[in-house]
Amino acid sequence: MNVVIAGGGTGGHISPAIAVAEAIWKRYPDTSIDFIATPRPVDRRMYKQFGDSVHILNPPRIDRGVLDIAFLPFRAIREFFAVRKLLRELRSTVLFATGGYPSFFPVIAARSLGIPSIIHESNSIPGRANRLASRFSDKVLTGFNSAVSGFRRGAIYSGNPVRYSLQKYDRGYAREKLNIPDGIPVVLFLGGSQGARAINDVALGAPENVYVLLQCGSRDRERIIEESSDLQMIQVIDFIDDPALLYSAADIAVARSGAMTVAELTWFRIPAVYIPYPFAADDHQKWNALEIAEKGGAIVSIQDSTDAAALWNTACTLLEDERMIQRMKTSLEEIMPVNPADTIAGIVSSSAEEGS
Domain residue extents for the chain: 2-164+339-355, 171-335
pLDDT band at 197 (very low <50, low <70, confident <90, very high): confident
pLDDT band at 319 (very low <50, low <70, confident <90, very high): very high
pLDDT band at 342 (very low <50, low <70, confident <90, very high): very high
pLDDT band at 221 (very low <50, low <70, confident <90, very high): confident
Taking the alpha carbons of 340, 343, 349, 350 in that order, is the dihedral positive or negative?
negative
Mean pLDDT of 8-14: 89
Please indicate whether the domains covering 2-164+339-355 and 171-335 agree at the CATH topology level: yes
pLDDT at res. 212: 94
> Which contacts qualify for 257-260: CB closer than 8 Å, 24 or more apart?
257/285, 257/286, 257/288, 257/289, 257/292, 257/300, 258/12, 258/192, 258/285, 258/288, 259/12, 259/122, 259/123, 259/124, 259/143, 259/144, 259/160, 259/288, 260/11, 260/12, 260/15, 260/16, 260/122, 260/160
95-135 residue pLDDT tens: 999 988 889 999 999 999 999 999 999 999 998 889 999 99
pLDDT at 348 over 80: yes
pLDDT at 64 over 60: no
Mean pLDDT of 69-98: 86
Mean pLDDT of 205-221: 84
Topology of domain 171-335 in CATH is: Rossmann fold (3.40.50)
Return the closest-CA partner of residue 33 out of 21, 44, 42: 21
Q: How far from 164 is each of 84, 145, 268, 288, CA to CA, in Å?
A: 31, 23, 12, 22
User: Of 153-167, 264-278, 295-309, which range is least confident?
Assistant: 295-309
With the CA atoms of 86, 90, 95 and 96 taken in that order, what torsion angle do they form, in degrees rounded to the nearest 10?
A: -90
Beta bridge partners of 253: 188, 272
Which amino acid, one-letter code, is at 316?
Answer: C
Please say whether the beta carbons of 217 and 199 come within 8 A: no
Host H or E run for residue 97:
strand 94-97
Proportion of the chain above pLDDT 70, given as a percent? 94
pLDDT band at 68 (very low <50, low <70, confident <90, very high): low
Q: Looking at the domain that runs over 2-164+339-355, which CATH code has it been given? A: 3.40.50.2000
Mean pLDDT of 218-233: 78
- Greater confidence (208 vs 176) lies with 176
Distance CA 110, CA 348 (A): 14
